Amino acid sequence: MKILISFFFFTFLVSCGDQNQSNETFSSDQGLSQEHKKEFKKDLIEVTEDIYVGVGYGLANSIMIETENSLVIVDTLGSVERAEELYQDFREISEKPIVAIVYTHNHLDHLGGATVFYNENETEIYAQENIIYNLDNIATTIRPIIFQRSARQFGIPLPEEEIVHQATILFDDELTIEIDNLTFVLAHVPGETDDHLYVWIPKKKAVMVGDNFYRSFANLYAIRGTKFRNPMEWVDSLDKIRLLNAEHLVPSHSRPISGKENVEKALTDYRDGIQFVHDQTIRYANKGLTPDEIVQKVKLPKHLAESPYLQPFYGSISSYVRSTFSGYIGWFSGNISDLHPLTVEERAKKLEVMAQRQTKISDEAQNALDNGEYQWALELADMLIALDANNTQAKNIKAAAADQLAKFQLASNDYYFYKTVAGELRNEIDVNPSTPNSVTSEQLQATPMKAIMKSLPVNLNADKSVEITKKYEFRFIDSEEVYTIHIRKGVAQLSKIPDSSAEVKVITDQQTLKEVFAGLKNVAAISLLLANNTIEVEGGKLEFLKFLGLFTD
Ligand SMILES: [Zn+2]
């Protein structure tokens, strides 16, 4: 039977594990949390009746669910050696046949031990269908670079090759399986990867979430190299998991969490942490800040920064800000100096000369401009502007250099960018999108309400809303749609599910609300709409104005 993929993988190639097994080379460092290591202490835990999770046997966990006559395994650890040890311990609990293996996603620390659990005559392997593309891509196209950077990310040389069993049953959105009268729901929940699934067992009120939750801030980017992990897709998936009202949350890294309130708290903190980083990154990007500048701005509010589920033990928040920026906007920072930078060698030579001359940066910038070294002039002018944002001389040097560089551009995009920035620096051109009436009522009419509502959270002023927890419901006299926005201490959760507990209820027509949200109405005009009940508010008219204030600087 053809079940083996014809090429080999390295176990750690794209794994997503903890640090406890990989940092031995750096064991004397203080940089890695000793407390966090306890999360990965080797243990076989009975989560609830018939559900067992092996923690600390490998980088990832492996979960065993016992039904009347069978066993189901969710994730298989990263290697045969590690899986064999856990297999023996599972067999102490039950000798029943393993009829199903589920891969929560494509990372090798969850797949490499499958041979140990697999029996050709009785086992099916389930996975979400995107897993095929992801495994192929990593094993071939980008294998060299990912291999090298994974070794750096995990701090160890990569271990032996492992064979991975191909999934035998693939699904797209959702698949329900009955095994001995126990129902398993497998659902596609893109997050850490786009092939992620959860396993939900309604009868046990237990959900297995793979790597969409672990006791560390969600790894929105892996520095070994990864394609864009869309933060809001991940958040939506977590919201879908929250709706299950699970009593047991069993992640594939770190220990399980039990108790409905504990699970809800963990998942809510988790999704809020991700959305906060996402929304505030986009908010500052919309203000024209570069990734380097946004990294300095986006800091988790205290209650999230202190959450045990959001400690940055695996990756860094700054890395997630940059990933969010590049996922939406791409690699270019927006600063014209970054478009065609000097090579490291060129810059080194110029700095060497500058040091020998002992010139001031401002003199060197002027010299560079006069000598036709326009890119160097841009970079030096940036330093001067960084020291004094109002340095007119530096801005003029930068503008003149950008004008000159434009002349050398074959590409029209590059040419116009240099010229426009030069005009902006001289205050001759304003491209600020927030100039009044930049959106017309006609344009708003053509924009779906949903799109307008979705744009609100990335405009939330985190500082103004950090103390506020309140639900707002929006209904329309000309549409059946209902939206709820839950402001929760710096994060605005948008939902299309009506919530009877909303403290403030707003009823109006769609166009009026669109125009208010788009800034086409000033406070006087909005007050009039409130006074004549074009906008009806239950819970206090002032509350609506306060709500709008949360989305302004
Ligand atoms: Zn993992």
The alpha carbon of 192 and the centre of ligand 1 are apart by a number of angstroms equal to 9
The alpha carbon of 59 and the centre of ligand 1 are apart by a number of angstroms equal to 7
The alpha carbon of 62 and the centre of ligand 1 are apart by a number of angstroms equal to 11
The alpha carbon of 151 and the centre of ligand 1 are apart by a number of angstroms equal to 16
Q: Kindly provide the b/e burial profile for residues 200-215, where b requires at least 16 CB atoms within 10 angstroms of the residue's own CB.
A: bbeebbbbbbbbbbbb
The alpha carbon of 308 and the centre of ligand 1 are apart by a number of angstroms equal to 19
The alpha carbon of 318 and the centre of ligand 1 are apart by a number of angstroms equal to 21
CATH number of the domain residue 98 falls in: 3.60.15.30
The alpha carbon of 103 and the centre of ligand 1 are apart by a number of angstroms equal to 11
Is there a single domain that holds both residue 88 and residue 129?
yes
The alpha carbon of 138 and the centre of ligand 1 are apart by a number of angstroms equal to 15
What are phi and psi for residue 4, nearest 5 degrees?
A: -95, 135
Please say whether the beta carbons of 162 and 9 come within 8 A: yes
Reported as a single tens digit per residue, the pLDDT across 343-389 is 999 999 999 999 999 999 999 999 999 999 999 999 999 999 999 99
Q: Is residue 298 part of a domain?
A: no
The alpha carbon of 214 and the centre of ligand 1 are apart by a number of angstroms equal to 9
CATH number of the domain residue 480 falls in: 3.30.1050.10
* One-letter amino acid for residue 19 of the chain: Q
The alpha carbon of 17 and the centre of ligand 1 are apart by a number of angstroms equal to 5
* One-letter amino acid for residue 98 of the chain: I
The alpha carbon of 57 and the centre of ligand 1 are apart by a number of angstroms equal to 13
Please say whether the beta carbons of 197 and 105 come within 8 A: yes
Q: Is residue 308 part of a domain?
A: no
Is there a single domain that holds both residue 491 and residue 368?
no
Is there a single domain that holds both residue 255 and residue 379?
no
Is there a single domain that holds both residue 233 and residue 346?
no
The alpha carbon of 181 and the centre of ligand 1 are apart by a number of angstroms equal to 30
pLDDT of residue 145: 85
Q: What is the DSSP letter of 32?
A: S
Is there a single domain that holds both residue 231 and residue 362?
no
Positive or negative: CA dihedral 506, 513, 532, 528:
positive
Look at residues 215, 239, 270 and tell me which one is the last residue of a structural domain.
270
Q: Is residue 316 part of a domain?
A: no
Tokens of 437: 């009436």
The alpha carbon of 71 and the centre of ligand 1 are apart by a number of angstroms equal to 22
CATH number of the domain residue 396 falls in: 1.25.40.880
Residue 365: other Cβ atoms inside 10 A: 26
Question: How far is it, in rounded angstroms, from Cα 245 to Cα 264?
Answer: 7
The alpha carbon of 223 and the centre of ligand 1 are apart by a number of angstroms equal to 15
- CA distances, 552 to each of 215, 545, 546, 549 (Å): 34, 11, 10, 5
Is there a single domain that holds both residue 382 and residue 250?
no
Is there a single domain that holds both residue 416 and residue 350?
yes
Is there a single domain that holds both residue 127 and residue 184?
yes
Q: Which parts of the chain have pLDDT scores under 50?
A: 1-14, 17-27
The alpha carbon of 294 and the centre of ligand 1 are apart by a number of angstroms equal to 29
The alpha carbon of 165 and the centre of ligand 1 are apart by a number of angstroms equal to 17
The alpha carbon of 212 and the centre of ligand 1 are apart by a number of angstroms equal to 9
Q: What is the DSSP letter of 343?
A: P
Helix, strand, or coil here: 182?
A: strand
Q: Is residue 282 part of a domain?
A: no
Reported as a single tens digit per residue, the pLDDT across 164-198 is 788 999 999 999 999 999 999 999 999 999 999 99
The alpha carbon of 111 and the centre of ligand 1 are apart by a number of angstroms equal to 10
The alpha carbon of 446 and the centre of ligand 1 are apart by a number of angstroms equal to 43
Q: Which of 217, 224, 189, 186 is nearest to 108 (CA)?
A: 224
- In the chain, how long is the greatest CA-to-CA distance? 84
The alpha carbon of 149 and the centre of ligand 1 are apart by a number of angstroms equal to 17
Please say whether the beta carbons of 362 and 369 come within 8 A: no
Is there a single domain that holds both residue 411 and residue 451?
no
Q: Is 48 exposed, middle or buried (0-12, 13-18, 19+ CB in 10 A)?
A: middle
The alpha carbon of 55 and the centre of ligand 1 are apart by a number of angstroms equal to 12
The alpha carbon of 110 and the centre of ligand 1 are apart by a number of angstroms equal to 6
How are beta strands 43-48 and 504-508 bridged, if at all? unpaired
Reported as a single tens digit per residue, the pLDDT across 112-135 is 999 999 999 999 999 999 999 998
Q: Kindly provide the b/e burial profile for residues 473-509, where b requires at least 16 CB atoms within 10 angstroms of the residue's own CB.
A: bbbbeeeeebbbbbbbbbbbbbeeeebeebebbbebe
The alpha carbon of 135 and the centre of ligand 1 are apart by a number of angstroms equal to 14
pLDDT of residue 49: 97
Q: Is residue 544 part of a domain?
A: yes
Q: Is residue 321 part of a domain?
A: no
Q: Is residue 209 part of a domain?
A: yes
The alpha carbon of 506 and the centre of ligand 1 are apart by a number of angstroms equal to 43
Question: How far is it, in rounded angstroms, from Cα 324 to Cα 284?
Answer: 12
The alpha carbon of 159 and the centre of ligand 1 are apart by a number of angstroms equal to 16
Q: What is the DSSP letter of 196?
A: -
Taking the whole predicted model, whether its pTM rises above 0.85 is answered as yes
Count of domains forming the chain? 3
Question: How far is it, in rounded angstroms, from Cα 546 to Cα 540?
Answer: 10
Is there a single domain that holds both residue 362 and residue 462?
no
Question: How far is it, in rounded angstroms, from Cα 20 to Cα 39?
Answer: 9
Cross-strand pairs, 495 = 484
Cα dihedral 62→67→69→70 (10° resolution)? -20
Is there a single domain that holds both residue 114 and residue 260?
yes
Q: Is residue 324 part of a domain?
A: no
Look at residues 223, 238, 270 and tell me which one is the last residue of a structural domain.
270
Q: Which of 147, 322, 150 is nearest to 223 (CA)?
A: 150
Query: H or E stretch including 233?
Result: helix 231-242
The terminus-to-terminus CA distance of the chain in angstroms comes to 63
Look at residues 392, 425, 458 and tell me which one is the last residue of a structural domain.
425
pLDDT of residue 406: 97
Question: How far is it, in rounded angstroms, from Cα 203 to Cα 279?
Answer: 36
How are beta strands 124-128 and 71-74 bridged, if at all? unpaired
Please say whether the beta carbons of 447 and 480 come within 8 A: no
Is there a single domain that holds both residue 134 and residue 214?
yes
The alpha carbon of 184 and the centre of ligand 1 are apart by a number of angstroms equal to 21
Cross-strand pairs, 201 = 206
Query: Residue 155: left if φ>0, alpha if ψ -120 to 50, beta else—which one?
Result: left
Per the structure, the complete domain to which residue 530 belongs is given by 441-549
